[in-house]
Protein backbone atom coordinates (compact mmCIF):
# COMPACT_ATOMS: atom_id res chain seq x y z
CA UNK A 1 0.00 0.00 0.00
CA UNK A 2 1.52 3.31 -1.07
CA UNK A 3 1.96 6.52 0.72
CA UNK A 4 0.80 9.62 -1.11
CA UNK A 5 2.60 12.90 -0.54
CA UNK A 6 2.68 16.44 -1.88
CA UNK A 7 5.76 18.60 -1.44
CA UNK A 8 5.59 22.36 -1.83
CA UNK A 9 2.82 21.91 -4.35
CA UNK A 10 1.98 25.09 -6.26
CA UNK A 11 -0.51 25.41 -9.07
CA UNK A 12 -1.17 28.42 -11.24
CA UNK A 13 -3.83 27.98 -13.93
CA UNK A 14 -2.55 29.36 -17.24
CA UNK A 15 -3.48 33.00 -17.66
CA UNK A 16 -4.97 33.36 -14.18
CA UNK A 17 -1.91 34.50 -12.23
CA UNK A 18 -3.64 33.16 -9.11
CA UNK A 19 -1.89 30.52 -7.05
CA UNK A 20 -4.77 28.01 -6.78
CA UNK A 21 -2.39 25.93 -4.69
CA UNK A 22 0.23 27.88 -2.81
CA UNK A 23 2.73 25.52 -1.22
CA UNK A 24 0.83 22.45 -0.06
CA UNK A 25 2.67 19.80 1.96
CA UNK A 26 0.53 16.80 2.81
CA UNK A 27 1.09 13.17 3.54
CA UNK A 28 -1.63 10.53 3.35
CA UNK A 29 -0.95 7.13 4.87
CA UNK A 30 -2.52 3.74 4.10
CA UNK A 31 -5.75 3.10 6.00
CA UNK A 32 -6.15 6.78 6.80
CA UNK A 33 -9.46 8.61 6.24
CA UNK A 34 -8.93 12.29 5.56
CA UNK A 35 -11.48 15.03 4.89
CA UNK A 36 -10.36 18.05 2.89
CA UNK A 37 -12.59 21.06 3.55
CA UNK A 38 -12.72 24.72 2.58
CA UNK A 39 -14.97 27.01 0.60
CA UNK A 40 -15.31 26.92 -3.18
CA UNK A 41 -12.12 28.23 -4.73
CA UNK A 42 -9.95 27.30 -1.75
CA UNK A 43 -7.95 24.85 -3.87
CA UNK A 44 -9.55 21.53 -2.89
CA UNK A 45 -10.52 20.46 -6.41
CA UNK A 46 -7.16 21.58 -7.79
CA UNK A 47 -5.48 19.43 -5.15
CA UNK A 48 -7.59 16.42 -6.16
CA UNK A 49 -6.62 16.87 -9.80
CA UNK A 50 -2.98 16.72 -8.82
CA UNK A 51 -3.40 13.52 -6.85
CA UNK A 52 -4.26 11.55 -9.98
CA UNK A 53 -2.11 13.45 -12.43
CA UNK A 54 -4.83 15.41 -14.25
CA UNK A 55 -2.80 18.52 -13.55
CA UNK A 56 0.97 19.01 -13.50
CA UNK A 57 2.51 21.06 -10.67
CA UNK A 58 3.66 24.58 -11.47
CA UNK A 59 6.09 24.07 -8.60
CA UNK A 60 6.70 21.25 -6.14
CA UNK A 61 5.75 17.63 -6.67
CA UNK A 62 3.38 14.77 -5.92
CA UNK A 63 5.02 11.58 -4.69
CA UNK A 64 3.41 8.17 -4.88
CA UNK A 65 5.38 5.62 -2.91
CA UNK A 66 8.33 7.94 -3.04
CA UNK A 67 8.34 8.34 -6.82
CA UNK A 68 7.51 11.59 -8.55
CA UNK A 69 4.08 11.29 -10.19
CA UNK A 70 5.37 13.43 -13.04
CA UNK A 71 7.44 10.51 -14.26
CA UNK A 72 4.48 8.13 -14.22
CA UNK A 73 2.20 7.45 -17.11
CA UNK A 74 -1.47 8.29 -16.56
CA UNK A 75 -2.37 4.59 -16.58
CA UNK A 76 0.25 3.85 -13.93
CA UNK A 77 -1.12 6.56 -11.69
CA UNK A 78 -4.71 5.45 -12.35
CA UNK A 79 -3.78 2.03 -10.98
CA UNK A 80 -2.88 3.66 -7.67
CA UNK A 81 -5.19 6.61 -7.22
CA UNK A 82 -8.90 6.42 -8.07
CA UNK A 83 -10.86 9.66 -8.18
CA UNK A 84 -14.65 9.92 -8.05
CA UNK A 85 -15.71 13.35 -9.25
CA UNK A 86 -18.58 15.34 -7.81
CA UNK A 87 -20.66 15.36 -10.96
CA UNK A 88 -21.14 11.77 -12.18
CA UNK A 89 -22.22 12.99 -15.59
CA UNK A 90 -18.67 14.12 -16.29
CA UNK A 91 -17.49 10.60 -15.67
CA UNK A 92 -20.18 8.25 -16.98
CA UNK A 93 -20.18 7.47 -20.70
CA UNK A 94 -20.98 3.76 -21.20
CA UNK A 95 -24.33 2.48 -22.42
CA UNK A 96 -24.96 0.16 -19.50
CA UNK A 97 -24.19 -0.01 -15.81
CA UNK A 98 -22.11 -3.14 -16.32
CA UNK A 99 -19.99 -1.65 -19.13
CA UNK A 100 -19.42 1.46 -17.07
CA UNK A 101 -18.10 -0.49 -14.08
CA UNK A 102 -16.04 -2.89 -16.25
CA UNK A 103 -14.33 -0.14 -18.19
CA UNK A 104 -11.71 0.89 -15.61
CA UNK A 105 -10.51 -2.52 -14.41
CA UNK A 106 -10.52 -3.89 -17.96
CA UNK A 107 -8.18 -1.10 -19.03
CA UNK A 108 -5.88 -2.02 -16.18
CA UNK A 109 -5.45 -5.43 -17.81
CA UNK A 110 -7.06 -7.53 -15.09
CA UNK A 111 -7.72 -11.20 -15.80
CA UNK A 112 -11.27 -12.24 -16.65
CA UNK A 113 -11.76 -13.79 -13.21
CA UNK A 114 -10.38 -10.77 -11.38
CA UNK A 115 -12.48 -8.49 -13.52
CA UNK A 116 -15.69 -10.38 -12.73
CA UNK A 117 -14.91 -10.42 -9.03
CA UNK A 118 -14.00 -6.70 -8.88
CA UNK A 119 -17.12 -5.68 -10.79
CA UNK A 120 -19.40 -7.84 -8.67
CA UNK A 121 -17.94 -6.46 -5.47
CA UNK A 122 -18.22 -2.84 -6.64
CA UNK A 123 -21.87 -3.32 -7.64
CA UNK A 124 -22.70 -5.04 -4.35
CA UNK A 125 -21.05 -2.34 -2.26
CA UNK A 126 -22.92 0.43 -4.04
CA UNK A 127 -26.25 -1.37 -4.10
CA UNK A 128 -26.40 -1.50 -7.89
CA UNK A 129 -26.52 -5.29 -8.26
CA UNK A 130 -29.45 -6.20 -10.46
CA UNK A 131 -29.22 -2.99 -12.48
CA UNK A 132 -26.31 -4.20 -14.69
CA UNK A 133 -28.17 -3.89 -17.99
CA UNK A 134 -29.74 -0.51 -17.28
CA UNK A 135 -28.69 2.60 -19.14
CA UNK A 136 -26.90 4.90 -16.65
CA UNK A 137 -29.03 7.81 -17.80
CA UNK A 138 -32.22 6.00 -16.83
CA UNK A 139 -30.99 5.97 -13.24
CA UNK A 140 -31.74 8.84 -10.87
CA UNK A 141 -29.01 11.32 -9.92
CA UNK A 142 -28.09 9.61 -6.68
CA UNK A 143 -27.72 6.19 -8.30
CA UNK A 144 -25.66 7.69 -11.13
CA UNK A 145 -23.38 9.02 -8.45
CA UNK A 146 -23.14 5.60 -6.83
CA UNK A 147 -22.35 4.21 -10.28
CA UNK A 148 -19.45 6.63 -10.68
CA UNK A 149 -18.24 5.43 -7.28
CA UNK A 150 -18.64 1.77 -8.30
CA UNK A 151 -16.62 2.25 -11.47
CA UNK A 152 -13.72 3.61 -9.44
CA UNK A 153 -14.08 0.99 -6.68
CA UNK A 154 -13.83 -1.74 -9.30
CA UNK A 155 -10.32 -0.56 -10.10
CA UNK A 156 -9.33 -1.45 -6.54
CA UNK A 157 -6.87 1.39 -6.27
CA UNK A 158 -4.96 1.64 -2.99
CA UNK A 159 -5.95 5.32 -2.79
CA UNK A 160 -9.56 6.44 -3.16
CA UNK A 161 -10.35 10.13 -3.60
CA UNK A 162 -13.98 11.29 -3.49
CA UNK A 163 -15.08 14.78 -4.42
CA UNK A 164 -18.25 15.69 -2.49
CA UNK A 165 -19.51 12.12 -2.09
CA UNK A 166 -22.65 13.06 -0.12
CA UNK A 167 -24.13 15.75 -2.36
CA UNK A 168 -27.36 14.70 -4.01
CA UNK A 169 -27.50 11.58 -1.85
CA UNK A 170 -30.46 10.82 0.35
CA UNK A 171 -30.27 9.23 3.77
CA UNK A 172 -29.80 5.71 2.38
CA UNK A 173 -27.25 6.88 -0.19
CA UNK A 174 -25.14 8.61 2.44
CA UNK A 175 -25.24 5.46 4.59
CA UNK A 176 -23.99 3.50 1.59
CA UNK A 177 -21.19 5.91 0.77
CA UNK A 178 -20.22 5.77 4.42
CA UNK A 179 -20.01 2.00 4.56
CA UNK A 180 -18.01 1.90 1.31
CA UNK A 181 -15.51 4.31 2.82
CA UNK A 182 -15.30 2.43 6.10
CA UNK A 183 -14.78 -0.83 4.22
CA UNK A 184 -12.03 0.72 2.09
CA UNK A 185 -10.10 2.00 5.09
CA UNK A 186 -10.55 -1.29 6.93
CA UNK A 187 -8.91 -2.92 3.90
CA UNK A 188 -5.95 -0.58 4.34
CA UNK A 189 -6.80 1.78 1.49
CA UNK A 190 -6.28 5.51 1.86
CA UNK A 191 -9.57 7.40 1.65
CA UNK A 192 -9.54 11.12 0.92
CA UNK A 193 -12.81 13.04 0.61
CA UNK A 194 -13.40 16.63 -0.35
CA UNK A 195 -16.59 17.74 1.33
CA UNK A 196 -18.68 20.62 2.61
CA UNK A 197 -20.69 18.34 4.83
CA UNK A 198 -19.33 18.98 8.32
CA UNK A 199 -21.63 16.44 9.97
CA UNK A 200 -20.22 13.81 7.63
CA UNK A 201 -16.72 14.94 8.59
CA UNK A 202 -17.47 14.69 12.31
CA UNK A 203 -19.03 11.25 11.97
CA UNK A 204 -16.54 9.58 9.71
CA UNK A 205 -13.09 11.12 9.59
CA UNK A 206 -10.07 10.90 11.84
CA UNK A 207 -8.32 13.81 10.19
CA UNK A 208 -9.46 17.10 8.70
CA UNK A 209 -7.40 19.29 6.38
CA UNK A 210 -8.79 22.83 6.15
CA UNK A 211 -7.80 24.84 3.06
CA UNK A 212 -8.03 28.53 2.34
CA UNK A 213 -6.65 30.39 -0.68
CA UNK A 214 -4.57 27.43 -1.79
CA UNK A 215 -2.97 26.84 1.59
CA UNK A 216 -3.45 24.42 4.47
CA UNK A 217 -4.65 26.42 7.47
CA UNK A 218 -5.35 23.47 9.74
CA UNK A 219 -4.51 19.77 9.71
CA UNK A 220 -5.83 17.86 12.70
CA UNK A 221 -8.61 15.81 14.26
CA UNK A 222 -12.30 16.80 13.99
CA UNK A 223 -12.20 17.77 17.68
CA UNK A 224 -9.36 20.17 16.91
CA UNK A 225 -11.00 21.52 13.76
CA UNK A 226 -14.38 21.99 15.47
CA UNK A 227 -12.95 23.34 18.73
CA UNK A 228 -14.84 26.49 19.73
CA UNK A 229 -11.49 28.27 20.14
CA UNK A 230 -10.86 27.81 16.41
CA UNK A 231 -14.31 28.97 15.37
CA UNK A 232 -12.96 32.07 13.65
CA UNK A 233 -10.40 30.07 11.71
CA UNK A 234 -13.13 27.82 10.33
CA UNK A 235 -15.37 30.79 9.65
CA UNK A 236 -12.57 32.50 7.72
CA UNK A 237 -13.23 29.91 5.04
CA UNK A 238 -17.00 30.12 5.48
CA UNK A 239 -17.39 26.86 7.32
CA UNK A 240 -19.20 26.19 10.57
CA UNK A 241 -18.72 23.31 12.99
CA UNK A 242 -21.67 20.90 13.06
CA UNK A 243 -24.53 21.83 15.38
CA UNK A 244 -23.68 19.01 17.80
CA UNK A 245 -20.13 20.35 18.24
CA UNK A 246 -21.41 23.89 18.77
CA UNK A 247 -23.96 22.76 21.34
CA UNK A 248 -21.31 20.64 23.08
CA UNK A 249 -19.01 23.66 23.36
CA UNK A 250 -21.89 25.71 24.75
CA UNK A 251 -22.83 23.14 27.38
CA UNK A 252 -19.20 22.44 28.21
CA UNK A 253 -18.92 18.79 27.19
CA UNK A 254 -16.59 17.27 24.64
CA UNK A 255 -18.30 15.97 21.50
CA UNK A 256 -18.34 16.53 17.75
CA UNK A 257 -21.05 14.04 16.77
CA UNK A 258 -24.68 13.91 17.82
CA UNK A 259 -24.30 10.48 19.41
CA UNK A 260 -21.33 11.66 21.50
CA UNK A 261 -23.14 14.81 22.51
CA UNK A 262 -26.25 12.95 23.62
CA UNK A 263 -24.29 10.41 25.62
CA UNK A 264 -22.18 13.16 27.20
CA UNK A 265 -25.34 15.05 28.13
CA UNK A 266 -26.97 11.91 29.48
CA UNK A 267 -23.94 11.26 31.69
CA UNK A 268 -23.90 14.85 32.89
CA UNK A 269 -27.64 14.80 33.64
CA UNK A 270 -27.62 11.51 35.56
CA UNK A 271 -28.02 12.04 39.30
CA UNK A 272 -24.97 11.02 41.32
CA UNK A 273 -25.21 7.39 42.41
CA UNK A 274 -25.76 6.74 46.08
CA UNK A 275 -23.28 4.43 47.69
CA UNK A 276 -24.75 0.97 48.30
CA UNK A 277 -26.32 0.63 51.73
Partner 1 sequence: MTLTLAAIGYRYAGSGEPALLDVDLELRGGEVIGLVGASESGKTTLCLVASGLAPRAIGGLLRGRIAIDGEDVDSWPMHRLSQHVGIGFQSPATQLSQVTATVFEEVAFGPVNFALPRDEVAARTWDALSTVGITDLAERDPRRLSGGQQQLLAIAGLLALGPAHLVLDEPTAQLDPEGTRLVTDALARLAEGGTAILVAEQKTDVLAALASRIAVLDHGRLVMAGPSDEVLGDRRLTELGVTPPAVVRLRQAAAAAGIGAGLLAEALIDA
Residues forming the site for partner 1 (CB under 8 A) = 39-41, 86-87, 89, 140-143, 164, 167-174, 196, 199, 238-240, 242-244, 246-247, 249-251, 258-259, 261-263, 265-266, 269
DSSP 169-229: --HHHHHHHHHHHHHHHHTT-EEEEE-S-HHHHHHH-SEEEEEETTEEEEEE-HHHHT-GG
Q: Say how far apart CA 186 and CA 160 lie, in whole Å.
A: 13
Minimum Å distance from CB 191 to partner 1? 21
Minimum Å distance from CB 198 to partner 1? 8
Residue 196: name the closest of 218, 217, 171, 167 by CA: 167
DSSP 24-41: EEEEE-TT-EEEEE--TT
Minimum Å distance from CB 201 to partner 1? 12
| CA-to-CA separations, 109 to 84, 113, 221, 271, 277, in angstroms, rounded | 20, 11, 39, 64, 73
Considering beta carbons, is residue 4 or 248 the nearer one to partner 1? 248
Considering beta carbons, is residue 13 or 70 the nearer one to partner 1? 13
Strand, coil or helix: 62: strand
Considering beta carbons, is residue 31 or 168 the nearer one to partner 1? 168
Considering beta carbons, is residue 224 or 237 the nearer one to partner 1? 237
Considering beta carbons, is residue 112 or 266 the nearer one to partner 1? 266
Q: Say how far apart CA 201 and CA 175 lie, in whole Å.
A: 13
Considering beta carbons, is residue 85 or 205 the nearer one to partner 1? 85
Minimum Å distance from CB 169 to partner 1? 7
Amino acid sequence: MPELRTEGLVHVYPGSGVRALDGVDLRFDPGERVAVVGQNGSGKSTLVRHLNGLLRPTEGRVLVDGSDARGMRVAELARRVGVVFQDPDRQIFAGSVLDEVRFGPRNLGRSAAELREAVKEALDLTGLTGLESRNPYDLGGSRRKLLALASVLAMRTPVLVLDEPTTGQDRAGIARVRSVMEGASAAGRTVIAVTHDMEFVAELFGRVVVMRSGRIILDGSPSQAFDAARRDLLRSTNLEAPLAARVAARVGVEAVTEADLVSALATAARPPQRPPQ
